[in-house]
Structure 1
Amino acid sequence: MRTMRGDTTIVRKRLVQGLPVAALLLMGAFAVAGPSGLLAWGENQRVLEQRRTSLVDLQDKRDRLRNRVNLLAPDHVDPDLAGELLRSNLNVARPDEKVLLLP
């Protein structure tokens, strides 16, 4: 017949062995299905490509705006750009001019 002391020793041994195994299984599950795991890798790559294309578009837009700012510098204003801005903002045109709006 088993004694009470023997049962607690067996339970303790199984608990000591089971906790590390459970911890390893949990870490393995996070490595596969966690937020930065193997299953999320494809989604992260897709988001990265989207952000790279967005970055290229934003850099192009920044370069265009930088060019317009340089053309409107107070010490040397580009006369064509200044005339374009005056006509578009004030709706001013000479009688002999034809206005074409481009998209």
Structure 2
Amino acid sequence: MVVLPLGLWTLSALVCGYFIVQAESGNRGLEAKRALKIKAYALNQELAAVKADRAVWEHRVGLLKSDQIDRDLLEERARIVLGRVHANDVVIIDP
């Protein structure tokens, strides 16, 4: 008389325990949610850095495309592309 209800209570407690453990540490559990939030935050930081870099490059390209070309930027790009330096420039070679 006591064994059947005790067995059912034990079985239901085990099933509930299983679901509680899976809710915490399963593939779609709370730990996975925390890990995904951390990854999303890191990706958002990287996206913000890339957007800032893109804005800088868009500004520089805009200076080269306008009717009045920025002479300093043009000279800088020409030196980089041609590999030339001015006689008064100091060149530091970084290994």
Which category describes the TM-score, using the shorter chain as reference length? 0.5 to 0.7
Aligned length: 78
Q: Alignment partner for residue 57 of structure 1, among 46, 49, 56?
A: 49
For 2:43 and 2:49, locate their aligned partners in 1 and report how far apart those are by CA, in whole Å: 10
For CA contacts below 8 A with separation 6 or more, give which structure has more relative contact order.
Answer: 2
Q: Alignment partner for residue 80 of structure 1, among 69, 72, 75?
A: 72
Q: 1:102 to 1:66 in 2, by over 3 A?
A: farther
Structure 1 gap segments, 5+ residues each: 1-20
Shift of 1:93: 3.5
The answer to whether residue 25 in structure 2 is matched with residue 48 in structure 1 is: no
Q: Alignment partner for residue 89 of structure 2, among 68, 76, 98?
A: 98
Matched position secondary structure for 1:72: helix
Structure 2 gap segments, 5+ residues each: 1-11
Which structure would you say has the larger Rg? 1
Shift of 1:80: 0.7
CA contact (8 A) 1:71 1:78 kept: yes
Q: What RMSD in Å do the two structures reach over aligned CA positions?
A: 2.9
With the length of structure 2 as denominator, give the TM-score of the two structures. Answer: 0.62
Matched position secondary structure for 2:61: helix
With the length of structure 1 as denominator, give the TM-score of the two structures. Answer: 0.58
